[in-house]
Amino acid sequence: MGKYRMKAEKTVKSLVLGILMSCLCACGTAQSAEPDRIQLGAAYYNQNDTFLSQLDECLKEEISRLEKDGFEVTVTTRDAAGSQRTQDDQVKELIEAGCNVLCVNLADRTDPSEIIDAAREHNVPIIFFNREPVAEDMMQWEKLYYVGADAKLSGILQGELAADAIHADSRIDRNKDGIIQYVVLEGEPGHQDAIIRTESAVDTLKKKGIRLEKLSCGIANWNRSQAQNRMMQAIGQHQNQIELVLANNDDMALGAIDAYEKLNYTESALPVFFGIDGTDAGLQAVADGKLAATVYNDKEGQARAMAALAAALVSGEGMEEIEFVNGRYIYLPYYKADKHYAETGK
Ligand code: BGC
C-alpha cells in the first residue's frame, strides 16, 4: 500500500470519526438543552399543622436544588384544610394543570382511592408522605410510593429520654411513691404515628424499670390549643399529682405547658414534658428548659428523599440508587433532641 493511500485512508477515517463525534456531541447538547421538567403538585392535609408547614419549606428548598442538576422545576401547593373531598378535587386540578409527579399528604389516610384512580388514569406517580396509606391501598398501582418515618422508633426514643430523666432526677417523682403518675396527649385517632408512639414510649419506660400510673389520656389531634384544653381538664381532675406528660408531638407538649402557665403553677409543681418533632418552637422550648426533651422528626431528610424520588420518577434515572423498604417505602430515622442538641444542633 502506497504512503499516500495510507495517509488518505487515515484522513477519511478521522473525518468520519470527527463527524460521528460531533454528531454525538450535538445530540448530547440537544438533550441537555431540554432539561427534564419537574412539575410537582404538593397536596397537604392541613397547612396550619406546624410540623408540615416546616416540612413544606424543606421540600421547596430541596426541589429548587434540583435546578442545579439541570431540571426545570415548578411546585404548586394545595391545602385541603382537613377535608379528603377537597383534597380529591385539588389533586385532580393539579393533574389537569400538567403536574407530572404528586406529593400527597392525605387528609384521610384510609381514603386515597379517588386520588389513586385520577393519577393512574394520567400516569402520574404519587409519593405519599407523613400520613401513610394502608398497605392494601399501596397495592392499587405500582407507581405509588411512601416517604415517612419509623413511628415505633420515635416512641422508643421518647421513652428512653423520659426514663433517663426520671432515673437522673428523683425530684420528678414528687410524691415519692416510687411510681410516676403520667398523662398522655395523643394525636389524631387513626394516624399511624399516634397510637404507636404512645405504646412504644410507655413500653420503653416500663422496660427501663419505671413504674407508671396513667392518670389520663386525651386526644388533642396534634394541636396546641386542643392540648391546652385537654391539659386544663386533666389538671382540674388531678391537680398536683401529674409528674410526667408524654405528648405525641411538640405542639401538644407546648399546649400542655401553656395550660400550666395559664394556671400560674410554680416551677417546682410542674411535671416534666416530652414531645416529638423538634419543630422550631419545640427546640426553643427544650433550649429554654421548659420541655425536657423531644425526638427529632427528620423533615430535612424526608424532603430530600421526596425530591430525589420525584426527580428519579420524572427522569427515569437514578431509581436504583434509592433504598426502599418493601420496594416502595422510605422511612427516615428519628433521633433524640435533648437540651445539648437544642442548644448546639448536635
Ligand atoms: C407529626 C405531627 C403532625 C402529623 C401530621 C406527625 O408525624 O409528628 O406533628 O401533626 O404528623 O400528620
Ligand 1: centre distance to CA 130 (Å): 7
Cα of 14 vs centre of ligand 1, distance in Å, is 64
User: Can you tell me which atom of ligand 1 is nearest the CA of 297?
Assistant: 8
H or E element, residue 185: strand 180-186
Q: Which residues pair with 104 in a beta bridge?
A: 43, 128
Say if residue 16's pLDDT is above 50.
Answer: no
Ligand 1 atom closest to 105 (CA): 12
Q: What percent of the chain has pLDDT over 70?
A: 90
Which DSSP letter does residue 34 get?
A: S
Question: Does 92 or 2 have the greater pLDDT score?
Answer: 92
pLDDT higher than threshold 80 for residue 34: no
The 3-class SS string of 71-126 reads: CEEEEEEEECCCCHHHHHHHHHHHHHCCCCEEEECCCCCCCCHHHHHHHHHCCCCE
Cell representation of residue 19: 463527524
- Residue 293 β-bridge partners: 274
Is 23's pLDDT higher than 80? no
User: How far from the centroid of its chain's Cα atoms is residue 215's Cα?
Assistant: 30
Which residue from 51, 132, 299 has its CB within 8 A of the most atoms of ligand 1, so it is best to mutate? 51
Could you tell me where the DSSP H helices lie in the chain?
A: 3-33, 50-65, 84-96, 113-121, 135-138, 151-168, 192-207, 224-238, 250-262, 280-287, 299-315, 339-344
Q: Over the stretch 150-170, which tens digit does the pLDDT of each residue have?
A: 999 999 999 999 999 999 999
Its pTM stands at: 0.89
CA of 22 to the centre of ligand 1 (A): 54
Ligand 1 interacting residues, C-beta cut-off 6 A: 49, 51-52, 130-131, 191, 193, 222, 249, 276-277, 297
pLDDT for position 195: 87
> Candidates 44, 47, 48, 49: which one to mutate for ligand 1, based on the most atoms within 8 Å of Cβ?
49
